[in-house]
Amino acid sequence: MLDPEITAEAYQQLRKQDSAPLLLDVREPWEAELANIPGSTLMPMGDIPSRAHQELDPDQPIVVLCHHGARSLSVTMWLRDQGFDHAQSLAGGIDRWSRFIDPGIPRY
């Protein structure tokens, strides 16, 4: 099974591929308005239990994103318990992404 976390650098390489993972943003809408990674799908953490099985493909690779990586890791582990074996948390969240990959994304 995949490691539960993926680094920003490793995800940066994966997102360039045709079969890039779904980037699932589990932050609140106000956070996504402040800063977001283009192409991400917003599904706040509180909505995951009611929406995951209807809107996500358990066979698709999923990278879960939050602010610093705590919420995303929690959601990743829940998804894995639900059969989404290809879910990984973006280590360090959007904050790390902004610091090391895309400094144009605002930090908050």
Residue numbers annotated as active site:
66
**Packing angle, helices 70-81 and 48-55, rounded to 10:** 60
Tell the burial category of 19 from Cβ atoms under 10 Å away from its Cβ (0-12, 13-18, 19+): exposed
Integer Rg of the chain from CA: 13
d(CA 53, CA 33): 25
